[in-house]
Structure 1
Amino acid sequence: MENTEIKIARFSSCRGVAFEINPNRINPFAIVSPTKQEQIRTWLWLPWTRTNSFKVLPQPQTISPTRSRGSSHFCDIDIDASDVEVEFIAELQDIEKSDKTNGAKVQKLLSRTDPPKRSRLSIILLDQGFTFYKGLFMVCMALNLVALALSAAGYFPYAKTRATLFSIGNILALTLCRSEAVLRVVFWLAVKIIGRPCVSLGIKTATTSFLQSVGGIHSGCGVSSMAWIVYSLVLTLKNKEKTSPEIIGVAFTVFSLILLSSLAAFPLVRHLHHNAFERIHRFAGWMALLLLWLFILLSKSYEPSSQTYDLTMSKVVKKQEFWFTLVITILIIIPWLSVRKVQVCVSAPSSHASIIRFEGGVKAGLLGRVSPSPLSEWHAFGIISDGKKEHMMLAGAVGDFTKSLISTPPKHLWVRTMHFAGLPYLVNLYQRVLLVATGSGICVFLSFLLQPSKADVSLIWVAKDIELNFGKEITELVNKYPKEKVMVHDTALSGRPNVAEMSVDAAVRWNVEVVIVTSNPEGSRDVLRACKRANIPAFGPIWDS
């Protein structure tokens, strides 16, 4: 009997309260005093695993359950430090020690220490490896550097005489890649043309990678534009007699503003001081555009022979720089023409999230921006809508603005009525799609469950205390979708799952073409890596998306 091992079945109630049934007792629910032998050695019961529903390890009485770190598989929702999951994961290490009195062997149970938690920024910058985004950035830089080198060597005279035009051309390209109006049209055309069943999956995934990563062109052209400005200034300073100090001063100021804007967009600054980045990027860009107009007017009206300015619009409009700058200006103005202050209804199902309601239906896959102050900050959220009379946004309480929605719900907010397309919109490219969301990331996918869609979508949603944190309404919206196509995992009841493994298994079971995930950087990275190993196309948010 000394080594007899009794297996006890472990169950969980609907509230996640664990209880055990011992079939060897007369009353399986009775609580009895431990025998003397049981006092010497107790047993630690671990949760079920994939291969075995029972797992028994000897446990000295001095050992207590260890508390794990908060789950990393949550998107845009705070988890209180005092309310973490209890994780019974341990390693058994036998350490034989001779006891002087009875020579007994003592088994010591050591808790496994979690690896140091990686910062969000290190995951974004270091763990993604070589991405399509970085590839587009390098291509833009390489093309511009080759053109610069050929121009400096005298093999590209057109660029040498029009260095300013090349700089403005790069600014035009980076503006196009960030224009929500242009991208909305491009995404729509991609879905209409490439989203047909006859188009191969390879072309569709390549299109998705490109459209998701156009920010790489934006960044590459931004750096390249500064290189061309420097090259233009060097050429100008070599021929000071053909220009004026005012023109040189304006050109140098434009360069300084673009440099400031680029430095503010550097991942480290953008991650740690996002509001400062947004304001610097916006106002420095606007000032640079105004000074660019001044530069064009001055440079095209200057007469070197008389050192005077003769401004005639007929002369200016014939220059390519004028038309490039005009298009840039129009593209920047368009989104601001749709800014409105609208009435909203904000409710908070919990202290972790809020729901913002607006009038008017919105097509599935589109995203929206809201702001308490349109000149200082804008916040993008997924849109939940049945496409009819209203739409809403689910905002996890992770920042000052989203927390203020819960503490002091506003009656009005500024919005851009022109919604923009992102990765969720490209669900319509495919025939069968698995959507994976954690926490409040569910908001970008819910519309596909409420509206008719070209794609046959299946859903995995992993979150903690779902009905408590997100409210009954969100839960009911998910429950309306066919049960055989939805997998909802509440970590408060079922523990923290391996979301990556769960996603791969579901993708194989539902025979999907592609997996699209919305989670935090670590969660998205894990799912994408697992799908890549399983040769399943998968896409998730990138840091510049």
Structure 2
Amino acid sequence: MIQQQGIGQRFSSCRGVSFEIQPHEDPFAIDSPRASGRFWLPWGSSKKITPTSSGAVISRTTSYPSSHFCDLETDDEEEDEIDNVLINIEEGYEHLDNKCELPISISVQEQEQQLPKAPSKKIVSKPIAKPKGSRLSVILLDQGLFTVYKRLFMVCLVVNITGLTLAATGHFPYARNHATVFSIGNLLALTLCRSEAFLRVVFWLAVKLFGHSWVPLWLKTATTSLLQSLGGIHSSCGVSSVAWLTYSLILTLKDRENTSNLIVGVASTILSLLCLCCLAAFPLVRHLHHNVFERTHRFAGWASLILLWAFVILTKSYDPDTKSYRKDVGSRLAKEQEFWLTLVVTILIIIPWVTVRRVPVKVSAPSGHASIIRFAGGVKPGILGRISPSPMSEWHAFGIISDGKEEHMMLAGAVGDFTKSLVSNPPSHLWVRQVHFAGLPYLVNMYNRVLVVATGSGICVFLSFLLQQGPAEVCLLWVTKGVEQNFGKEIKEWVSGHPNEKVIVHDTAVMGRPNVSEMSVAAARKWGAEVVIVTSNPEGSRDVVNACKSNGIPAFGPIWDS
């Protein structure tokens, strides 16, 4: 458990979940987040619950309060504090900045009509051991030791360590003679697990293959768990690549007569950079110092790739007999496995940057707390995108809202320097990656009937499912406050223009803080949902997923392992 003293500290997960942990004197106090300093270059009052007018007793959520974007904020007569998040929806993907509490102003009677009737079947409320500390402890310690992510990590690591042991003991001669191939092969595997272009195809294939009513539900949920947890393979392959390269370097040092000091130096530098990447990705470092992690991964990774090309060329052109380098290296490289593996890794890394464009945007700010960024072109539901004021400095991922026709938009809460500048000084152009990526929300299309649960700005990634009719019947449960005040009439009309049984909006400003877990289970049963997908803060996501699973309903939410 990590306790913060003094001013709140901002944390981010490797997969892009950003939040703040701040000291609270009042257990229901929500503090205003600090604006984190950003550089163009890569280095460098307490609230109260408004009682419901109906006088009904509202059970409070089991989640702890904090300044996370998806928290259910309390209301104050003088001001509303809006927080921001970088949500990780799938497993994996970097920053998703969104605006915080989005409400809808409707009467208590209308709210109660929208809430599902209490089912006759008893809802099982599984006791949840809530840590009495920071949200970071929830992310690092509260997910258990046997998550799919961790199991994939261990399986991949065991396979590599087994092969390495066999090679070292002389039972796997090919691996002993081609240790570098195994190291680069692991680099290829970890790159594939993070390649947004490749994963976009994988997610599309998953929906096409398993998105049929006759496909068993267990197969769909297993596929969802696997795709959401590919970061486990990514992390394991990173560690395994270091192990194989270390083994290769040891063999090279034992045979110094047949190599050069230059080759040893390049290999040692690559190994040092890979170790630096692994250390920066250590969970505690990754969450506490996300910018350090992200920039180390990016620039140390690029440097490693450049040196890897030098290593491959040097090793394949070196002649141990003459102690010199051959000039006809081109014809020899084409026959080497290391060359082709490195080439594929390079192509996968380059693809997103080839699609970077500076495009015109229209930015509006319904309030001082958030902005709406509009782009040309329709986008399918469940897709996320990245934007940047300076492509070499920082990238921010946002959920995309679109009706699939002429335009799409992103919502950005005014918290950091970049998102605040969108309100105070709206740009006319932004840099974008034209290859949008798929995450957990995209897998909604794989099911027949789905309940999507959102708190606060978590609604952003689900709005497209209301605007576009997809293969799945989607029911939305949204617990929030202040939509029209913060985002304008357009979003209010989107969520209010649907039948009550399809869109359930719980306005915390009118009805108080609910027990989101129990509401989710009740709504899932009434809707007949095959699966529940939730977007909330770490505690909220955990509580909803655990409650649904305790009642026999498959459920998925953001994972915080990577």
Equivalent residue for 1:192, pick from 203, 208, 218: 208
Structure 2 residue aligned with 1:135: 151
Residue 400 (str. 1) matches residue 411 (str. 2): no
* 1:267 CA displacement: 2.4
Aligned in 2, Cα 1:80/1:400: closer, same or farther, shift over 3 Å? farther
1:483 partner SS: coil
Structure 2 residue aligned with 1:238: 254
* 1:241 CA displacement: 0.7
Residue 328 (str. 1) matches residue 345 (str. 2): yes
| C-alpha distance in structure 2 between counterparts of 1:174 and 1:310, whole Å | 32
| C-alpha distance in structure 1 between counterparts of 2:542 and 2:64, whole Å | 19
Equivalent residue for 1:516, pick from 533, 538, 544: 533
Once the two structures are superposed, residues 386-408 of structure 1 have per-residue CA deviations (whole angstroms, 9 ceiling, x without a partner) of: 00000001123343322332233
1:318 partner SS: coil
Residue 489 (str. 1) matches residue 498 (str. 2): no
Structure 2 residue aligned with 1:111: none
Once the two structures are superposed, residues 196-217 of structure 1 have per-residue CA deviations (whole angstroms, 9 ceiling, x without a partner) of: 1111000000000011111111
| C-alpha distance in structure 2 between counterparts of 1:141 and 1:79, whole Å | 45
| C-alpha distance in structure 2 between counterparts of 1:281 and 1:411, whole Å | 31
| C-alpha distance in structure 2 between counterparts of 1:343 and 1:266, whole Å | 38
Contact 1:344/1:410, CA 8 A, preserved across alignment: yes
* 1:75 CA displacement: 1.7
Structure 1 residue aligned with 2:306: 290
Once the two structures are superposed, residues 245-292 of structure 1 have per-residue CA deviations (whole angstroms, 9 ceiling, x without a partner) of: 000000011111111122222222222222232222111111100000
| C-alpha distance in structure 2 between counterparts of 1:373 and 1:317, whole Å | 37
| C-alpha distance in structure 2 between counterparts of 1:331 and 1:506, whole Å | 42
* 1:83 CA displacement: 6.0
* 1:487 CA displacement: 0.7
Structure 2 residue aligned with 1:105: none
Structure 2 residue aligned with 1:429: 446
1:475 partner SS: helix
Aligned in 2, Cα 1:346/1:77: closer, same or farther, shift over 3 Å? farther
Contact 1:73/1:499, CA 8 A, preserved across alignment: no
Equivalent residue for 2:274, pick from 228, 251, 258: 258
Aligned in 2, Cα 1:543/1:182: closer, same or farther, shift over 3 Å? same
Q: Which has the larger radius of gyration?
A: 1
Unpaired runs of 5+ residues, structure 2, are 1-48, 82-129
Equivalent residue for 2:225, pick from 209, 218, 235: 209
Equivalent residue for 2:134, pick from 100, 115, 119: 119
* 1:522 CA displacement: 1.1
Equivalent residue for 1:222, pick from 238, 249, 254: 238
Contact 1:435/1:516, CA 8 A, preserved across alignment: yes
More divergent stretch after superposition (69-78 vs 134-143): 69-78
| C-alpha distance in structure 2 between counterparts of 1:200 and 1:193, whole Å | 12
Contact 1:76/1:440, CA 8 A, preserved across alignment: no
| C-alpha distance in structure 1 between counterparts of 2:459 and 2:195, whole Å | 26
Structure 1 residue aligned with 2:544: 527
| C-alpha distance in structure 2 between counterparts of 1:84 and 1:383, whole Å | 25
Aligned in 2, Cα 1:128/1:273: closer, same or farther, shift over 3 Å? same
| C-alpha distance in structure 1 between counterparts of 2:446 and 2:281, whole Å | 31
Structure 2 residue aligned with 1:166: 182
2:450 partner SS: strand
Structure 2 residue aligned with 1:48: 57
* 1:170 CA displacement: 0.1
| C-alpha distance in structure 1 between counterparts of 2:318 and 2:75, whole Å | 65
Contact 1:301/1:310, CA 8 A, preserved across alignment: yes
| C-alpha distance in structure 2 between counterparts of 1:375 and 1:225, whole Å | 27
1:388 partner SS: coil
* 1:382 CA displacement: 0.7
| C-alpha distance in structure 1 between counterparts of 2:73 and 2:388, whole Å | 21
Once the two structures are superposed, residues 216-264 of structure 1 have per-residue CA deviations (whole angstroms, 9 ceiling, x without a partner) of: 1111000100011111111111111111100000001111111112222
Structure 2 residue aligned with 1:3: none
Contact 1:137/1:217, CA 8 A, preserved across alignment: yes
Contact 2:366/2:488, CA 8 A, preserved across alignment: yes
TM-score (norm 2): 0.78
Contact 1:141/1:221, CA 8 A, preserved across alignment: yes
Structure 2 residue aligned with 1:504: 521
CA RMSD of aligned residues (A): 2.4
Residue 454 (str. 1) matches residue 471 (str. 2): yes
| C-alpha distance in structure 2 between counterparts of 1:229 and 1:16, whole Å | 60
Give the partner amino acid of 1:494: M
Structure 2 residue aligned with 1:177: 193
Once the two structures are superposed, residues 465-508 of structure 1 have per-residue CA deviations (whole angstroms, 9 ceiling, x without a partner) of: 23223322211111122222111011111111111111011111
* 1:380 CA displacement: 0.8
| C-alpha distance in structure 1 between counterparts of 2:65 and 2:533, whole Å | 24
Matched residue count: 460
Structure 2 residue aligned with 1:316: 333
| C-alpha distance in structure 1 between counterparts of 2:435 and 2:498, whole Å | 28
More divergent stretch after superposition (274-283 vs 292-301): 274-283
Structure 2 residue aligned with 1:307: 323
Give the partner amino acid of 1:421: A
Give the partner amino acid of 2:461: V
| C-alpha distance in structure 2 between counterparts of 1:207 and 1:494, whole Å | 38
Give the partner amino acid of 1:200: P
Give the partner amino acid of 2:190: L
Once the two structures are superposed, residues 148-176 of structure 1 have per-residue CA deviations (whole angstroms, 9 ceiling, x without a partner) of: 11111111111111111100000000011
Contact 1:71/1:496, CA 8 A, preserved across alignment: no
* 1:349 CA displacement: 2.2
| C-alpha distance in structure 1 between counterparts of 2:74 and 2:173, whole Å | 60
Structure 1 residue aligned with 2:431: 414
| C-alpha distance in structure 2 between counterparts of 1:416 and 1:246, whole Å | 38
* 1:16 CA displacement: 6.2
1:196 partner SS: coil
| C-alpha distance in structure 2 between counterparts of 1:366 and 1:116, whole Å | 33
Residue 391 (str. 1) matches residue 400 (str. 2): no
| C-alpha distance in structure 2 between counterparts of 1:320 and 1:389, whole Å | 46
2:367 partner SS: coil
Contact 1:395/1:440, CA 8 A, preserved across alignment: no
Contact 2:183/2:241, CA 8 A, preserved across alignment: yes
Equivalent residue for 1:247, pick from 255, 263, 268: 263
| C-alpha distance in structure 2 between counterparts of 1:196 and 1:436, whole Å | 23
Equivalent residue for 2:390, pick from 341, 360, 373: 373
Equivalent residue for 1:351, pick from 355, 368, 371: 368
Contact 2:369/2:414, CA 8 A, preserved across alignment: yes
| C-alpha distance in structure 1 between counterparts of 2:540 and 2:331, whole Å | 58
| C-alpha distance in structure 2 between counterparts of 1:161 and 1:78, whole Å | 60
| C-alpha distance in structure 2 between counterparts of 1:498 and 1:362, whole Å | 34
Aligned in 2, Cα 1:133/1:278: closer, same or farther, shift over 3 Å? same
TM-score (norm 1): 0.80
| C-alpha distance in structure 2 between counterparts of 1:263 and 1:539, whole Å | 29
